[in-house]
A and B are shown apart, each in its own frame.
Chain A
């Protein structure tokens, strides 16, 4: 049996089992699996926006290191450690599925079934790796080395997408959404992985402050904050504005989203620059 046939049979077997699940079978039979995956992508995106807000809120406590350390004791509880591990699911799924959409929409790759298999396969590997590092809790790596490697990779991918669409007549904001998505595709999963290399990396104020005092890490964090908040704001607008046919309500939504995201951007940027 050829490898392709074997792969197709395995996929078909998995899909047949999934189609037996009551709610999933409705999507599979009436709209197709990509439709269901699109919904998952939306939900994951909204969850990640909330995560970014919570993340910036807690980081703001770094101004008072003892308060930060106090807050972080909660995140050492088993239930919160488990929730942090679960966070790896929306992070990697949204990132890789976004990558798939970029390949489909911008680079003309139409072998969607294969790309979806890669999305799920790599997601499982990543989720497993995060879990493994969390359990071990004893890994260390030079932040400069790690982030230099990640930043260069993310910039190359972002540049590749920008080069393909920059001269097109698409809306500037839409182009930025795609470029920021390509950049975050690497940066956000790397950020989550880095934070779980060992407990002190993200939970001890002194370690975090020392790392953030490096000009290079400041630059990395600023790029992350700006790209993540822009990507999240555009994504939220895109999802919610669809249901508003009134122009006034759409403008109001833009204003509301802009105010919320600018407030978080202000907190995050100020903290990163001044720490």
Chain B
């Protein structure tokens, strides 16, 4: 007992999982009934299904510590990391023990809950998530020290793990927008004092697929598992903050 509220030790859950078989091209929703402890994560539930109910269910995960982003799925319409979601938190958050689970919508489904991440990453690659042209000092092999004040401006944005939860939640269509995480990757390098090619970066941001497709619905910030205020960084670009930092 805790303050008069009974803490359940086990929950009887129903998981309605979207399935897809690439061989037959057939899609369907399959119900799984299972009993699970309150501190099990959703990745544990998928494993439990594999071990006890259905070995054919396919899903993705790697680190299972919210660092790689591969286990992103939609639970009752909300994109999130399955490895971060505890059963009890899910019951409280959604007010139900029935969960509809679907793959994220940023790329075609390969099988069940697995999407083609390579295709999803194509948009991130268009934003060039690396230093295009390092500043001179950086090239000489010396240690390049970023001042704490500079780093503080964008260090939050460097926590992005490209789980594509923000891109899934975004109001803008994924057909014409690079996506919040891809835009954020470019903004990180714009704010990075080691990057020289600021003009090229601005060109990406101000392109047809760039920030003009963002309508500041802030769903990206709302769903981000790393709690990055993505909308804030995109708004900095709209404000024209980075134009004064132009390099070559």
Residues 237-275 of A, flagged 1 when their CB comes within 8 A of B and 0 if not, give: 010011111000000000000000000000000000000
Q: Contacting chain A: which of B41-49, B141-149, B231-239?
A: B231-239
Contact in complex: B169, A30 (CB < 8 Å): yes
Contact in complex: A26, B175 (CB < 8 Å): no
The answer to whether A210 has its CB under 8 Å from any CB of chain B is: no
**Given A29-B93, A105-B238, A106-B239, are A34 and B212 also a contact pair (CB < 8 Å)?**
no
The answer to whether B172 has its CB under 8 Å from any CB of chain A is: yes
Contact in complex: B76, A30 (CB < 8 Å): yes
Contact in complex: A38, B176 (CB < 8 Å): no
Give the contacting residue for B206; candidates A37, A171, A241; CB below 8 A.
A171
Residues 25-43 of A, flagged 1 when their CB comes within 8 A of B and 0 if not, give: 0100111101101110110
Contact in complex: A242, B93 (CB < 8 Å): no
Contact in complex: A30, B78 (CB < 8 Å): yes
List the A residue with the shortest CB-CB distance to B169: A31
The answer to whether B138 has its CB under 8 Å from any CB of chain A is: no
The answer to whether B139 has its CB under 8 Å from any CB of chain A is: no
Q: How far is the CA of A39 from the CA of B78 in the complex (A)?
A: 17
**Interface magnitude class on chain A:** 20 to 34
Q: Contacting chain B: which of A74-82, A162-170, A213-221?
A: A162-170
Q: How far is the CA of A170 from the CA of B238 in the complex (A)?
A: 8
Contact in complex: B215, A169 (CB < 8 Å): no
Q: How far is the CA of A217 from the CA of B107 in the complex (A)?
A: 54
Residues 78-91 of B, flagged 1 when their CB comes within 8 A of A and 0 if not, give: 11000000000000
Q: How far is the CA of A164 from the CA of B238 in the complex (A)?
A: 11
Q: How far is the CA of A66 from the CA of B79 in the complex (A)?
A: 59
Contact in complex: A38, B238 (CB < 8 Å): no
**Given A242-B213, A243-B175, are A165 and B93 also a contact pair (CB < 8 Å)?**
no
A171 / chain B contacts, CB cutoff of 8 Å: 206, 212
The answer to whether A195 has its CB under 8 Å from any CB of chain B is: no
The A-contacting residues of B in range 54-68, CB under 8 angstroms, are none
A31 / chain B contacts, CB cutoff of 8 Å: 78, 169, 217, 219, 222-223
**Given A165-B240, A168-B240, A244-B175, are A38 and B215 also a contact pair (CB < 8 Å)?**
yes
B245 / chain A contacts, CB cutoff of 8 Å: none
Contact in complex: B206, A29 (CB < 8 Å): no
Q: How far is the CA of A171 from the CA of B210 in the complex (A)?
A: 11
The answer to whether B30 has its CB under 8 Å from any CB of chain A is: no
Contact in complex: A35, B243 (CB < 8 Å): no
Q: How far is the CA of A242 from the CA of B171 in the complex (A)?
A: 10
Contact in complex: B222, A35 (CB < 8 Å): yes
The answer to whether A174 has its CB under 8 Å from any CB of chain B is: yes
Residues 159-196 of A, flagged 1 when their CB comes within 8 A of B and 0 if not, give: 00000110011110010000000000000000000000
Q: How far is the CA of A37 from the CA of B202 in the complex (A)?
A: 29
List the B residue with the shortest CB-CB distance to A101: B216
Chain B: minimal CB distance from A270 (Å): 32
List residues of B whose CB falls within 8 A of some A CB. 76-79, 93-94, 169, 171-173, 175-177, 202, 206, 212-213, 215-219, 221-223, 232, 235-236, 238-240, 243
Can you report 26 A-B residue pairs in the complex whose CB atoms are below 8 A from each other?
A29-B76, A29-B77, A29-B93, A30-B78, A30-B169, A31-B78, A34-B217, A34-B219, A34-B222, A35-B169, A35-B171, A35-B222, A38-B215, A38-B216, A105-B239, A107-B239, A108-B236, A110-B232, A110-B235, A164-B240, A169-B243, A171-B212, A242-B177, A243-B173, A244-B176, A245-B176
The 10 A-B residue pairs with the shortest CB-CB distance, nearest first, are A32-B222, A38-B217, A168-B240, A30-B78, A242-B173, A34-B218, A245-B175, A31-B219, A30-B77, A35-B219
